[in-house]
Amino acid sequence: MYTIGQVEEITGVKQHVLRYWEEVIPGFAPKKDFGGRRLYSQKDMETVLRMKHLIYQKKFTIEGARDQIINESEAFEKSADLLGQIRSARRELTEAFFALRKFRQ
C-alpha cells in the first residue's frame, strides 16, 4: 500500500490531481486508514500510471482517459469471464476423457 505522498513521488502526479481523479474515475477509490489517510493499492497505482500516460503522452482529455479506462476494464472483465468459461470447458472435457477411458478398459 502506498500513501498519497508516495504515489505523487513515484508517478509525478500531484496530490490534488489524484484526489480529483478519485471523483471522476469510477472504481478508483483508494482505501483510507483509521486516520483518514489514503492508501493506494498496486491496482490504484496502475490506474494512476495509465491515466498519466493517456493524458500526458496520448493527449486524451480527462473524460476521454476515464472512458478509455472504463472500456479497458469492461474488456478485461469480459476476457476474464471468457477465460473462466474456457477453464470450465477444459475441466469438463478432461473429466469426460477419463470417464471414457475408464469405460473402455
User: For residue range 12-33, what is the model confidence (pLDDT) as tens digits?
Assistant: 999 999 999 999 888 888 999 9
Q: What is the mean pLDDT of residues 84-97?
A: 78
Q: Which residues pair with 39 in a beta bridge?
A: 3, 31
Instruction: Calculate the CA 92 to chain-centre distance.
Output: 30
Q: Which residues pair with 32 in a beta bridge?
A: 38
Residue 52: the pLDDT is 93
The count of C-alpha atoms lying within 13 angstroms of the C-alpha of 51, restricted to the half-sphere facing its C-beta, is 24
For residue 98, is pLDDT > 80? no
Q: Which three cell numbers stand for residue 88?
A: 470450465
Residue 55: the pLDDT is 94
Residue 54: the pLDDT is 93
| Per-residue pLDDT tens digits for 47-81 | 898 999 999 999 999 999 989 988 887 767 666 67
Q: Is the pTM of this model over 0.95?
A: no
Is 38:30 a contact under the CB 8 Å cutoff?
yes
Is 18:55 a contact under the CB 8 Å cutoff?
no
